[in-house]
């Protein structure tokens, strides 16, 4: 009798333990968010001088994190849409997970622009004084469209999850619309950099293709990592064939991504144009930003590739999770390299240099090569946005009951 009582109480205890973990998780996210909000209030009071950005480096942690989240969102929807457009059956179990990830990421990316503006009211200038030839305005429009589409797509998948026979045509239409929309989102974000003819580090026709491949890589890696987390701490099931498909696809996308970056390096190196080489020299081994090179190519490139393709390493417990996490680290390093190096290598390198906008008695107020280190304010605000993403995804996952309800990935669609 005692055994029966224990066995009956076990599910209740398990539910209480899960509820306790969830409260702790939300509490942690709330603390991180509160610290970030306090840092933002401090920034509003003291201006952008509270950040590490100055006249030479006017884009910093907010912008390269914005570009990172844009890539994650585009990649999530591309992967979800590809399940229908290309008939990849192995991806169908991840369809709603990918769309939820895409909607959460693009929402965070859009909000990240606000602290970078310094004063939030400046955003109304986009409406009052729009410059239709600016890629920045194009990006605002495509982000708005993309977020709206992601929410609608997720709503359709959720509302019709119990009626697979009636939803196939609607889901397929949305997939055919979502795929080019996601590609356009990251292409326009790439054009913000690639169309800057005065910045040789950015001005390359490879920028848009590189951004799209990077988005597919990072978005797939994120959805994979989220699926593994949901399988570990939730009730999500990641099928073996899906897991194997993800391994191969991430490895292939990683090789293509590194190939594109390598092509850009080789072109600059071989051309040996001084303005181009001065930026590349900062990144290559021996340069002041060489840690980005090693992070991108070794930590986020070679190591995860070995975990994905070497049979002995593939059998290591958690190898797929380790590989996907390191891939995300490598992609984030590339975003830092792209944004920061493009600024620290100034347009003119003649004495006395570029004005910093600040003065310290023991140092010059000019510099020939820019310097940038994020302040504690930037770290706090950026971590708060990562916490916001975690909160949005966790809430969406629980409210939509993605692991429990039947989605378009079900066999009834076959």
Domains assigned to the chain: 21-413 (1.20.1630.10)
Model confidence band, residue 305 (pLDDT cutoffs 50, 70, 90): very high
Instruction: Give Cβ neighbours of residue 177 (< 8 Å, ≥ 6 apart).
Output: 149
For residues 283 and 264, is the Cβ–Cβ distance under 8 A?
no
Closest by alpha carbon to 236, among 389, 82, 98, 107? 98
Widest pairwise Cα distance in the chain: 88
* Distance (Å, whole) CA 228 – CA 233: 9
Best mean pLDDT range from 91-100, 161-170, 215-224: 215-224
Whether the CA torsion 327, 37, 359, 366 is positive or negative: it is positive
* Distance (Å, whole) CA 400 – CA 394: 10
Mean of all residue pLDDT scores within the chain: 85
pLDDT at 233: 81
Q: Which one has a higher pLDDT value, 242 or 371? A: 242
* Distance (Å, whole) CA 65 – CA 71: 10
Model confidence band, residue 197 (pLDDT cutoffs 50, 70, 90): confident
- Give the pair of three-digit tokens for residue 225: 């990592």
pLDDT at 293: 94
For residues 60 and 378, is the Cβ–Cβ distance under 8 A?
yes
Whose tokens are 């980005």? That residue is 292
Which of 160-169, 249-258, 289-298 shows the lowest per-residue confidence on average (mean pLDDT)? Answer: 160-169
* Distance (Å, whole) CA 22 – CA 19: 5
Model confidence band, residue 158 (pLDDT cutoffs 50, 70, 90): confident
- Give the pair of three-digit tokens for residue 109: 């990316």
Task: Report cis status (omega within 30 of 0) of the bond before 72.
Answer: no
Which of 134-148, 151-165, 185-199, 391-405 shows the lowest per-residue confidence on average (mean pLDDT)? Answer: 151-165
Residue 354 has pLDDT above 90, yes or no: no
pLDDT at 374: 93
Residue 403 has pLDDT above 70, yes or no: no
| SS3 state at 366 | strand
- Model confidence pLDDT, tens digit, residues 321-345: 999 999 999 999 999 999 999 888 7
Angle at the Cα of 407 (from 402 to 409), degrees rounded to 5? 115
* Distance (Å, whole) CA 214 – CA 225: 16
């Amino acid at each position: 009798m005692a055994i029966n009582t224990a066995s009956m109480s076990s599910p209740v205890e398990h539910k209480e333990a899960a509820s306790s973990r969830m409260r702790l998780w939300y509490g942690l996210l709330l603390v991180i968010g509160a610290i970030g909000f306090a840092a933002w209030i401090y920034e509003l009071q003291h201006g952008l001088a509270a950040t590490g950005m100055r006249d030479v480096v006017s884009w910093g942690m907010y912008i390269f994190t914005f570009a990172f989240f844009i890539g994650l969102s585009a990649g999530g929807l591309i992967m979800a849409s590809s399940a229908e457009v290309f008939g990849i059956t192995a991806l169908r179990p991840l369809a709603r997970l990918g769309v939820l990830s895409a909607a959460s990421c693009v929402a965070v990316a859009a909000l990240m622009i606000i602290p970078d503006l310094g004063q939030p009211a400046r955003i109304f200038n986009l409406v009052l004084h729009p410059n239709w030839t600016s890629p920045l305005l194009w990006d605002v429009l495509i982000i708005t469209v993309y977020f709206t589409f992601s929410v609608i797509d997720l709503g359709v998948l959720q509302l019709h999850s119990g009626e697979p026979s009636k939803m196939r045509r609607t889901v397929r239409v949305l997939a055919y619309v979502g795929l080019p929309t996601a590609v356009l989102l990251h292409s326009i974000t790439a054009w913000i950099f690639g169309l800057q003819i005065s910045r040789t580090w950015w001005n390359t026709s490879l920028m848009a293709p590189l951004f799209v491949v990077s988005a597919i890589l990072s978005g797939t890696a994120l959805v994979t990592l989220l699926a593994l987390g949901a399988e570990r701490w939730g009730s999500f099931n990641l099928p073996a064939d899906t897991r194997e498909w993800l391994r191969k696809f991430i490895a292939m996308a990683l090789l293509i991504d590194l190939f594109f970056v390598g092509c850009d390096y080789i072109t600059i190196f071989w051309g040996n144009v001084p303005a181009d080489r001065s930026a590349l020299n900062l990144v290559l081994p021996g340069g002041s930003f060489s840690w980005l090179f090693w992070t991108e190519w070794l930590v986020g490139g070679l190591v995860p590739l070995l975990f994905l393709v070497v049979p002995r390493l593939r059998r290591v417990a958690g190898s797929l999770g380790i590989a996907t996490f390191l891939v995300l680290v490598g992609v984030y390093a590339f975003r830092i390299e792209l944004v920061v190096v493009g600024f620290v290598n100034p347009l003119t390198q003649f004495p006395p240099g570029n004005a910093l906008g600040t003065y310290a008695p023991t140092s010059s107020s000019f510099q020939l090569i820019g310097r940038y280190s994020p302040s504690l304010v930037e770290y706090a605000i950026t971590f708060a946005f990562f916490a916001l993403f975690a909160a949005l995804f966790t809430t969406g996952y629980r409210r939509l009951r993605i692991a429990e309800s039947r989605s378009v990935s079900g066999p009834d669609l076959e």
